[in-house]
Structure 1
Amino acid sequence: MAFVNRDLLTHAVRQRLVRLPAPYDSHYGVVPLPPPENHVSLGGALDRLVAASSALGKVQAIAQDMADPYLISRILKRQEAVSSSSIEGTNSTLDELLAVEDADEDGRSEVQQVRDYAQLLDRLLPDAAERSYRVFDLDLVRRLHADVMKSDPGYKDEPGELRDSVVWIGGGHIAYSTWNPPPPAQVRSCLLETIDYLRNEGMQSMTQNLVVRMAVGHAHFEAVHPFRDGNGRVGRLLLPLMMAAEGQVPLYLSPYIDAHKHDYYAALKRAQQRLEWEAIVGFVSDAVVATVDELMVTRAALAMLRKDWAGRRKFRKGAASTRALDLITDHPILTVKRLASLLNVTVAQANQAVGQLVEAGILSERTGYARNRIFAATEVLTIVNRPFGHPPARPTEDEEAGPFGFPR
């Protein structure tokens, strides 16, 4: 079988078939066309794109008018890392990641990989916001891959190095694949076309809005598949980086993608096999709208919880425990030492603050140890850990319960 099924490929894509090197020389890969810079046909995706643009504007207005810290919360980056890694079969939980980060430990290999992803966002998003689209170059893409794969003991190549082997997508064997990326000899030139598009210096800067460029750039990168493994994670990292480069508050779309994997892969296939860009533009548009909706619901739930906390005891203005209330939604798992560092107080003062927060039912101790104890804001974790698209838990009728059904 020369390729999956040539009938699945539009004529322009069939024209880009090239024979793969031995031992796969009875099969063909696709050298993707450069990403389109002119208007792309949107068909039924236009209304979805308009809704996505409106959602981005809503987030931007809140960020500018209210300087809302939740919109740039470290929790959002860590949820992105957990979900994006989960799509690729690297499984961790948000709780485990936060505990490892706060205790400054390595943890399992899977947790290390997720932590590397999250901390990469911490480092690179400010750079993208400062440098705009100039941030995109070959070195950046290789750094992204090197950092997200450096803790994967099973990765066979040097992290960050472009592949020199044949890869295919779907099926246990190349004969049953759904997409064969270009041969190794064409990887670099194809990737440079992706990067040129990401730099937004051509006609696309005038003919395509941000959401369209995110969709097209992501789909083209995945079609090139420049690394042996880890392409999905790198491709999804490009999305918030593109938003930051645009001056937009970054959104993290992997939780939505993880919850709609079938639709995600179907949209990628239509874009790659048939150049039906409206499929992936529609999917990314839906992801943006749903992510903003989720963001607003979570933000409101945490604000409601914060208000409830303030009524649980008398918190003295300026005290460490009072100041800690504003940090816990961003650090729902922490140690006394970390709290002391965040508040710039002594360990003794932080320990006293934690004791008061435990008495108020805001924090609870998780380890049972006498030393090196880890404390968690269970109510916060329940809100942020809920499945994507599910509402926060409603209050119970128990008058002694807090706003999300937790006993006070």
Structure 2
Amino acid sequence: MKTSDLSPARRKLLVPCVDYPGAFALVPPPTPRVLDLKGVGDELRRASNALELLKDLSSRLPNPDLITRTADRREAVRSSQIEGTNAGVNDLFTYEATGSGEGLPPDVRVTRNYVVALEYGLRKVRKSGPATLDNVLVKELHAHLMDGVEHGGTPGEFRKIQNWIGGGGNIYRARFVPPPPDHVPTCMDDLARLLAYSPGEEEQMVLSLVMRMAIAHAQFETIHPFIDGNGRVGRILLPLMLAAEGYPPVYLAGYLKDNQREYYDVLAGVQLRDEWSAWVKFFVCGVEEAVQESMRTALALEGILNRWKGQLANLGLRSHSVLLKFPELMIGTPVLTAHHASKTLGVSFPAASAALAQLEKMGILVQPVKQQRNRIFVATEVIDVLNRPVGG
């Protein structure tokens, strides 16, 4: 980390790295509650308005939880891919349906861990609200994320050694060196007060939720409290902050992945030079774009679900037919096996097998690989929607 890359104010925050003579780390200032921003007011208003529109749409959809389930998994894939994984949406759903990684990218387990961490966090914040957003939860998210993953640290514990960003294995070539480990707990305690935000009596302006999300993510990545998994934990916290206040989760990983170089550059601008305006503008534009994508995806999946129901209604089935249970299952679980469907729906294996065969005959499901045992059925329409680019 070159001192010439830092603003004068940030240079004053440098401290020596004990185990690396001549290297310095940056201890960030307290998490800001007030920022002097220029030229981002319109973007902030649009992002906040977009969240309200999404909240209204979600309240009118008959199956928002089913759609959220698929969106959760798309977010897990995209956020993990930012860190270099290769598993796709179809790989993740196949892994969940079969319980096997055979023939799948080895890092599908890492992506599945993201789902576990995200769903765990959503359950907690929906139950107890913003007060749940504390360091206990942050550590629990990390523990789920890194379960069974070799990473040089202890899952669920703040780091005990110095880390750095960029430069490969050489701290002296690093783009940024976060605070030494003994500073991490204090920095995270300070950040936690923003995560569980309630406006103080002395505050003249209440920080909007979108602004808090932007500040929290940048501050978390500046602290970099874990040896590995910081980017993913930092991105998981964003939908949790929304859900804690009653909003549908909005997922930004697609936007961040599509704009990955700018993402890293504007984050570095905060870390090295206190350049908050560029970061906040980038972030809130991402929120607006992610909301628009969420609405497009929700409406597309709702349309697919209604069409499937219409196709089955035309068959004149009895009201208790097993086949009628499948449309909602397929929206949330677009890769199925007979065993998985049988267990999930509470029906017999033969009944599940017969229903899957009928749905394949109707063209609703396809078998990517024809096999006699452990057959996999895919609702390709759902997968195609989830694989659309962010602006598509």
- Report the residue type matching 2:161 in the other structure: S
Task: Give the structure 1 partner of residue 304 of structure 2.
Answer: 305
C-alpha distance 284-206 of structure 1, shift in aligned 2 (>3 A): same
Work out the CA distance in 2 between the residues paired with 1:14 and 1:202: 31
Query: What CA distance in whole angstroms lies between the structure 2 residues aligned with 1:261 and 1:367?
Result: 35
The offset of 1:347, in angstroms, is: 1.9
Provide the rounded CA distance (Å) in 2 between the counterparts of 1:214 and 1:223: 14
Output the CA distance in 2 between the equivalents of 1:308 and 1:211: 36
> Alpha-carbon deviation of 1:317?
5.2
Match of 1:159 among 145, 155, 167: 155
Residue of structure 1 equivalent to 2:315: 314
Structure 2 residue 378 is the aligned partner of structure 1 residue 376: yes
Say which of 172, 177, 191 aligns to 2:174: 177
Q: What TM-score, normalized to structure 2?
A: 0.92
The structure-2 alpha-carbon separation of the partners of 1:205 and 1:306, relative to structure 1 and needing over 3 Å to count, comes to farther
1:13-92 aligned at under 5 Å gives the runs: 13-22=10-19, 24-38=20-34, 40-69=35-64, 72-92=67-87
1:115 aligns with 2:116: no
Q: TM-score, normalised by structure 1?
A: 0.88
Count of residue pairs the alignment pairs up: 384
CA distance 1:384–1:12, change in 2 (3 Å): same
Task: Check whether the contact 1:340–1:346 (CA below 8 A) recurs between aligned residues.
Answer: yes
Q: Is the partner of 1:300 in helix, strand or coil? A: helix
- CA–CA separation in structure 2 for the residues paired with 1:342 and 1:48: 43
Gapped runs of 5+ residues in structure 2? none
Q: What CA deviation, in whole Å up to 9, does each residue of 1:227-262 have, x standing for no partner?
A: 111111111111111111122111111111111111
User: Counterpart of 1:234?
Assistant: 233
Q: Which moved more, 1:209-218 or 1:58-67?
A: 58-67
What secondary structure sits across from 1:165 in the alignment? coil
Mapped partners of 2:211, 2:296: distance in 1? 26
Q: For 2:195, give the aligned amino acid.
A: L
Alignment-derived partner of residue 405 in structure 1: none
Cα displacement (A) at 1:356: 1.4
Gaps of 5+ in 1: 391-408
For 2:368, the equivalent position in structure 1 comes to 366
Structure 1 position 45, deviation (Å): 1.6
Aligned partners of 1:41, 1:31: CA distance in 2, in Å? Answer: 21
What code does the residue aligned with 1:196 have? R
> What CA deviation, in whole Å up to 9, does each residue of 1:307-333 have, x standing for no partner?
444348525253222331232121110
**Counterpart mapping for 1:119-158 below 5 A:** 119-153=116-150, 155-158=151-154
Distance in 1, Cα, partners of 2:250 & 2:363? 32
Alpha-carbon distance change, 20 to 205 in structure 1, aligned in 2, over 3 angstroms: farther
Q: Identity, % of aligned pairs?
A: 37
Output the CA distance in 2 between the equivalents of 1:86 and 1:343: 32
1:121 partner letter: L
Separation (CA, whole Å) in 1 of partners of 2:92 and 2:352: 22
Q: Could you say what secondary structure the match of 1:29 adopts?
A: strand
- CA drift of 1:17 comes to 0.9
Partner of 1:4: 2
- Cα distance in 2 for residues equivalent to 1:205 and 1:114: 42
Is 1:259–2:255 an aligned residue pair? no
- Deviation of 1:87 after TM superposition, in Å, equals 0.8
Task: Give the Cα–Cα distance (whole angstroms) in 2 for the partners of residues 343 and 315 of structure 1.
Answer: 21
CA distance change for structure 1 residues 90 and 238 in 2, over 3 Å: closer, same or farther? Answer: same
Secondary structure in structure 2 of the residue aligned to 1:43: coil
Does the Cα contact within 8 Å between 2:117 and 2:142 map onto a contact in 1? no
Structure 1 residues 56 and 156, CA gap change in structure 2 (3 angstroms): same
Q: Does 1:335 align with 2:331?
A: no
| Residue 342 of structure 1: how far off its partner (Å) | 3.1
Corresponding letter in the other structure for 2:85: T
* Bigger mean CA offset, 322-331 vs 258-267: 322-331
Q: Write the deviation string for residues 144-194 of structure 1: whole angstroms up to 9, x where unpaired.
A: 1121112323x1122222222222112233233221111122122112111
Write the distance in 2 (CA, Å) between the matches of 1:354 and 1:138: 45
